[in-house]
Amino acid sequence: MNEEDLIKFIEFIKTLLTQLQGNNEYAWFFESFNIEIVNSFFQNGNNPIVLDKFQNITDSDVNRIKAYLNFIDKNALKYGREFYRNINNGDLKKELIKDFKAMKIALKNENIIEFGRMLSLQIENIFNFSLRQLNVHNLILKNLAHYKALQPAWAAKPFDFYKSFFRYNSITNQYEPLDLSYVNFKTKSIFLSIEFNYRVDVKALDDVYFLRNKGSHRDQLSQQEIVELERIISDFDKNYSRYHKVLYDILNGIPNIK
């Protein structure tokens, strides 16, 4: 490969990175590029290996990389559109498909933590939309006695959803509606599963929630949390179908999102 070819390749990389920069759905690519290229070849300053590696890159290699990225994007997008084909709200559907695509790309790149994060985002977006459709705060206020001591057959003690969805204001001395972004993820899940009488694999959902909250903070984990993260990662291949089924069960168990 001559100097002109190398310059063309550099220009291609610059153009590609510029086009993808700032687009969250391609965050996986920048992470992979940083690990596979920047850290591998440029961490020691002048590295003679770099030129040797670039000598082996051909126009055909560049075209294959481009085609591969397009293939992943198109297939992940196609799967997302099919999975969420029955969602009627356009904004929700667009957001869910975007996160589904990112989840599939993370899976392709064996990025389990990012997979869990994007799966969790889809679930929470479904929860929030459903709760807004229910007008959950008014629903609770209109049936206060019911929702302050709601005890399904499987629960050891009743749930007080009033205190979960409302926060005490010490200035007004009243409970006021709590924005859904501040309501606990598990609280939303339990409330909706009771309201619509559907079931999910709670252990699998806990794993997804753990990946979302703890996976990106490995340096801040307790020893017990490190063990739990390592368990999820090591058992991922055999549990992947369970994680995907959680999303499927939630999507099909909550009727007011369609």
The answer for residues whose C-beta is within 8 angstroms of residue 212's C-beta and 6 or more apart is 116, 117, 120, 121
Q: How confident is the model at residue 257 (pLDDT cuts 50, 70, 90)?
A: very high
Tokens 């590609």, residue located: 16
Question: Cβ–Cβ contacts within 10 Å for residue 111, how many?
Answer: 19
What is the distance between the alpha carbons of residues 197 and 200, in angstroms, rounded to a whole number? Answer: 10
What is the distance between the alpha carbons of residues 77 and 102, in angstroms, rounded to a whole number? Answer: 9
Whole-number pLDDT of residue 136: 98
Residue that wins the pLDDT comparison between 46 and 24: 24
Q: What percent of the chain has pLDDT above 90? A: 56
What is the distance between the alpha carbons of residues 184 and 181, in angstroms, rounded to a whole number? Answer: 8
Residue that wins the pLDDT comparison between 56 and 157: 157
**Tokens linked to 83:** 């999975």
Question: Angle 3-20/59-83 helices, nearest 10 degrees?
Answer: 20
For 198-250, the pLDDT digits (tens) are 999 999 999 999 998 876 666 688 889 889 999 999 999 999 999 999 999 99
In one letter, which amino acid is 184? N
pLDDT at 134 over 70: yes
Q: How confident is the model at residue 153 (pLDDT cuts 50, 70, 90)?
A: confident
* Contact present, 257 and 130 (Cβ < 8 Å): yes
For 61-109, the pLDDT digits (tens) are 555 655 556 656 667 888 899 999 999 999 999 999 999 999 988 888 8
